[in-house]
Amino acid sequence: MLDPKTIRGEFPALSRMHKGRPVVYFDGPGGTQVPKACIKAMVDYLVRCNANAHGAFATSAESDEIIAEAHRGMADLLNARSAEEIVFGPNMTGLTFSLSRAIGATLRAGDEMILTRLDHDANYTPWLLAAQERGAVVHVVDINESDCSLNLDDYERYLNNCTKLVAVGYASNAVGTINPVKQITAMARAVGAWSFVDAVHYAPHGPIDVQDLGCDFLVCSPYKFFGPHLGALYGRQGLLESLPAYKVRPADDRPPGRWETGTQSGESLAGLTGTIRYLEWLGRTFPEEIAGDYRSARSATLHAAMRAVQEYERTLQGAMLDRLAALPKVRLYGNGFRTRLSRCTPTFAVRVGDRHPKEVARILGEEGICVWDGHYYALNLTERLGVEALGGMVRIGFAHYNTVEEIDRLYEALAGL
């Protein structure tokens, strides 16, 4: 089991104080704090080899190697077959729009896509716009309102030989629901459709193996799993080579270069490598037994690290559910069952009596407890739950550097409300 005291020592931001008490970072779903290894790597890059790519001089060559290492590290984290299957960009939304434009160019009138009501809008609107431009049909999978899980019967109803793409989130960024992604990608593959997985919210909470999932594309955001602001895309190499990329001349015509438009953020990619090193340390320090076919020893260590994170966070989930049960005026949206911890990330969307979510977030913020309020770009879900017009929900999200003691502080603050 992870030792939170050891973990917290690796995150300098956790030393920040507010009114004489440590700040509580329960805002992780919007972006996590970063370890010392990430910060050091970014500073080292900017001091030592801050240069543009492919120059005939030392600092440029060193910068190129740092960027290449970031691709290798991300491939190990996702267990991709090749570093050439990893594409970086400023953020997940931009990468998804870029890919949706490319896939949209292959669509014809009458082709079909399947989206979900549970997803972040960045995994909804880019595909909706691409479909509208090409006259394609869009189906939207609904939720089971009782626990905010996807209605899998909708997939059975919508999937057919006209389906070209199925886009689904690995986990809901609003309520934390973990979707049966492997099952959904297999259903898509059975009718010849491509699958696109938004793993932004899931990535900080568990291991990801794109080969095991069988997905064609997967996106995530390093700043959501203890890294700098970046977007990362995995794509099957054959698809990244064949889809019509929109790029300038004379950019590389092979992936990932044909998809990485403009100069990459060398300092951010260096920081990501620092985060990968931190996760390697985590996997060695708190080893977990894992099974699987991994591309490298580092990939296995990284997956062990994320398995350890997952196991520790379930103790936080259980503690939070126990405390919410003692607060009858706090309503939880989504999975509230201790017996189903594996079906949800440690993410809790609540409303506190009749109070506006922004008021609740402000009062908690005054107590040094950071939480989010609103819709978090999961507009389809907040509208479906009937809370959008009421200000959405308060979102409380844990990471592996959080503690049960911090949950007790939150409980006391909520009880005071």
Domain segments of the chain: what residues?
4-26+303-416, 40-280
Helix (H) or strand (E) holding 394: strand 393-397
What integer pLDDT is reported at residue 235 of this predicted model? 98
* Spans of the chain below 50 pLDDT: none
The one-character DSSP state at 286 is S
- Dump pLDDT digits (tens) for 4-48: 999 999 999 999 999 999 999 999 999 999 999 999 999 999 999
DSSP 190-201: HTT-EEEEE-TT
Closest by alpha carbon to 120, among 182, 229, 201, 178?
Answer: 201
What integer pLDDT is reported at residue 290 of this predicted model? 81
Closest by alpha carbon to 270, among 82, 70, 93?
Answer: 70
The phi and psi torsions of 356 (rounded to 5 degrees) equal -70, 135
What integer pLDDT is reported at residue 180 of this predicted model? 98
Q: What percent of the chain has pLDDT over 90?
A: 94
Q: What is the dihedral of CA 7, 9, 15, 20, to 10 degrees?
A: 80
> Would you state the structure tokens that stand for residue 220, as one six-digit string?
């995530």
What integer pLDDT is reported at residue 252 of this predicted model? 77
What integer pLDDT is reported at residue 188 of this predicted model? 98
CA–CA dist 378, 202 (Å, integer): 15
- Longest Cα–Cα distance in the chain: 66
What integer pLDDT is reported at residue 249 of this predicted model? 81
What integer pLDDT is reported at residue 349 of this predicted model? 98
Burial class, 58, CB count within 10 angstroms (exposed 0-12 / middle 13-18 / buried 19+): exposed
Enter the CATH code of domain 4-26+303-416: 3.90.1150.10
CATH of range 40-280; options 3.40.640.10, 3.40.228.10, 3.40.50.280, 3.40.50.720: 3.40.640.10
